[in-house]
Structure 1
Amino acid sequence: MGYLHKSISFLLFFTIFKITIVENIKNKSFLYVNTYYFSEYPNNKHLFPFRQKNNNNNKYPSYLTNKNNQIFNSISLNKKAYDETYKTICNELELLKKENSDNISHIQTFLGFIEKYYHEIKKHNSCSPEIFLKLFLKYIETFKKYRYYSFPNVHKYDESLYEWSLEFWLPLIDQKNSRFLGTNNIKKINNWIEQGHNVFIFSNHHIEADANIIKYYFHINNAENISRNMLFIGGHKIRADPLSRPFTVSANILCIYSKKYIEYPPHLKEEKILFNHKSLNALKNMLNLGKNIIWVAPSGGRDRKNPDNEIQISPFDPKIIKTFNIFAKRSNIKAHFVGMALNTYNICPPPNTIDVDEIEKERSCSYSPVGLNLGEDIFDIYPQMDENEITDRIYDYVNDLYKKI
């Protein structure tokens, strides 16, 4: 009887323990659940959990093809595997050069980026060789798939790239010192969307990967619906640059040429103006339906460092904000103008010069903290605000949010 009593007690304890674990995990994000049993590096437990080690039944992420699985199997994943993994990726890119003679210079640029990425993750032990290999094999595969892709006015994200797009930049992020603020405002956005409202998020812009960081912010805060459905206003370079394209196609994009790219080259000006008109008409139709979350960088580009080596938020273009305000009013659906501040500059800094006639010749990256601060509706903060004040108010508000991260 004593043995039976102990057995029943142990069984009850084990059952309660498992139920507790399951209930806790239910409240976590998808990426957390996938990594719950596979965390290999303790530094990745905080803001950015992601797979480091898989069990036999889930050896490869869903975004890896059979060919990439074979390459993965050829790598001996031990403590010295970083070098072998790096060489394997470089060899794949050399093969890619032979297949893409018109993109050799871009691939060479990416080789430089990979070298920096490799040194950073090895130095900070922020990513296993296994994950390093998986991420870049998928990048190469996506590069091939979309190298000649012509973006429509509204691009719907490639669902097969969703998980990969969240994971790619994470090994460069110092989780311990990163700051994600304003999460209490996510619930407000969800409530507005449920009511059929439109939400515009006006933000500064630091790096090409900002859309990925923004998506991840919402994803890990139980707002995958926002992460998947947010529409990003995208300019010329993120579509034209073959190296940026794999990340661009992983997000919903409304394609618009910014004013500095309309004029160059001159013979394409009319074509670009017509393209923008079609994009804006598509936007009007979307706003008339409601339930949109639209991210906009009113500066029209990325923030740069000033002569004192300080990052300054670029001025917001009043015409851009005025255009969205007019469209919001004409839709006859309530709209919210939310502020957001991004501090992502160091993980993939842009060049200090702006060349409208060429793709960037160098890509850099470094392991660094990031920051994102989601604000409130500017109309709630300044209910008596005059329309002519909107741009200045939003710009000042985003700067205030930025100071906290």
Structure 2
Amino acid sequence: FCVHSKKYIDSEVDAAKKKAMSQQNRKTLTEMSSALKKGGMLIWVAPSGGRDRLTDGRPTPARFDSAAVEMFRSLGGKSKVATHMYPMAMATYSIMPPPSGINKALGEERITKFSGCAISLAPEVDLSENASWRDSDSDPKDALTDHIFRQVCDEYDLLEKVMVDFREEGYVPPNSAQPWRA
């Protein structure tokens, strides 16, 4: 599935291209909804572009867009087939850092390096009405987004230790593996 990010759509100056990108997004969401209704699908959603980016010289997950998180929660809720949300952290910055700004041109220089990547899943998100992350004072969409983002950041902090020591024995979190060492 391809979804154009809001950031790129908003930066497009050509009205026809902007309209085409928005139409493609609507078609993609329709296809995703159909796939979720069938069940048995694994869909990874990047509610912010999905990249770890430098913040104060350290790679960290980019903030999530609460409208994107809510859209996918809503799609799952309408599917009539159980939909499970698992926050997932991916440490990929060392392989191919994202561009520092928006560049829509094809052929931009991207440096790819040999390195490992690390992926970690947090526990399933409780979407029930009495979930611990729900706060009567907060907008539920923002509270859910903040909850998932905190979980991703916690997992990312564990992964960072693995990535620092990739070539050495390094730290391996409990219930984790470094398959290349098998």
Q: TM over 0.5, yes or no?
A: yes
Q: Does 1:287 align with 2:36?
A: yes
Separation in structure 1 between the aligned mates of residue 44 and residue 38 of structure 2, nearest angstrom: 17
State the Cα distance separating 1:367 from its structure 2 match: 3.1
State the Cα distance separating 1:361 from its structure 2 match: 2.5
Separation in structure 1 between the aligned mates of residue 121 and residue 89 of structure 2, nearest angstrom: 7
Match of 1:404 in 2: 158
Q: Alignment partner for residue 296 of structure 1, among 45, 62, 66?
A: 45
Match of 2:147 in 1: 393
State the Cα distance separating 1:296 from its structure 2 match: 0.7
Separation in structure 1 between the aligned mates of residue 53 and residue 106 of structure 2, nearest angstrom: 17
Match of 1:361 in 2: 108
Instruction: State the AA in 1 paired with 2:3.
Output: I
Separation in structure 2 between the aligned mates of residue 365 and residue 295 of structure 1, nearest angstrom: 22
* SS of alignment partner, residue 296 of structure 1: coil
State the Cα distance separating 1:298 from its structure 2 match: 0.8
Alpha-carbon RMSD: 2.2
Instruction: State the AA in 2 paired with 1:268.
Output: K
CA contact (8 A) 2:96 2:112 kept: yes
State the Cα distance separating 1:317 from its structure 2 match: 0.5
Q: Alignment partner for residue 20 of structure 2, among 245, 256, 271?
A: 271
* SS of alignment partner, residue 336 of structure 1: coil
Q: If each structure's helix is expressed as a fraction of its own residues, which one has the higher value?
A: 1
Match of 2:123 in 1: 376
Match of 1:241 in 2: none
Instruction: State the AA in 1 paired with 2:33.
Output: K
The 1:340/1:267 distance shift into structure 2, 3 A limit, reads same
CA contact (8 A) 1:303 1:314 kept: yes
CA contact (8 A) 1:300 1:317 kept: no
State the Cα distance separating 1:330 from its structure 2 match: 1.2
Instruction: State the AA in 2 paired with 1:302.
Output: R
Q: Alignment partner for residue 78 of structure 2, among 322, 330, 349?
A: 330
CA contact (8 A) 2:95 2:112 kept: yes
Matched ranges for 1:132-143 at <5 A: none
The 1:290/1:309 distance shift into structure 2, 3 A limit, reads same
Separation in structure 2 between the aligned mates of residue 302 and residue 369 of structure 1, nearest angstrom: 15
Separation in structure 2 between the aligned mates of residue 304 and residue 384 of structure 1, nearest angstrom: 29
Separation in structure 2 between the aligned mates of residue 367 and residue 285 of structure 1, nearest angstrom: 38
State the Cα distance separating 1:321 from its structure 2 match: 0.7
Separation in structure 2 between the aligned mates of residue 351 and residue 262 of structure 1, nearest angstrom: 17
The 1:393/1:362 distance shift into structure 2, 3 A limit, reads same
* SS of alignment partner, residue 342 of structure 1: strand
Match of 2:166 in 1: none
Structure 2 spans left out of the alignment, 5+ residues: 135-139, 160-182
Match of 1:315 in 2: 63
| TM superposition score normalised by structure 1 | 0.35
Structure 1 spans left out of the alignment, 5+ residues: 1-253
State the Cα distance separating 1:341 from its structure 2 match: 1.0
Separation in structure 1 between the aligned mates of residue 118 and residue 50 of structure 2, nearest angstrom: 19
Separation in structure 2 between the aligned mates of residue 301 and residue 397 of structure 1, nearest angstrom: 14
Separation in structure 2 between the aligned mates of residue 326 and residue 302 of structure 1, nearest angstrom: 23
Instruction: State the AA in 1 paired with 2:92.
Output: T
Percent identity for Structure 1 against Structure 2? 32
Q: Name which one, 1 or 2, has greater alpha-carbon Rg.
A: 1
Instruction: State the AA in 1 paired with 2:156.
Output: Y
The 1:347/1:273 distance shift into structure 2, 3 A limit, reads closer
State the Cα distance separating 1:331 from its structure 2 match: 1.4
1:306-344 deviations in Å (ceiling 9; x for gaps): 3x3211211000001100111111112221110111112
Match of 2:171 in 1: none
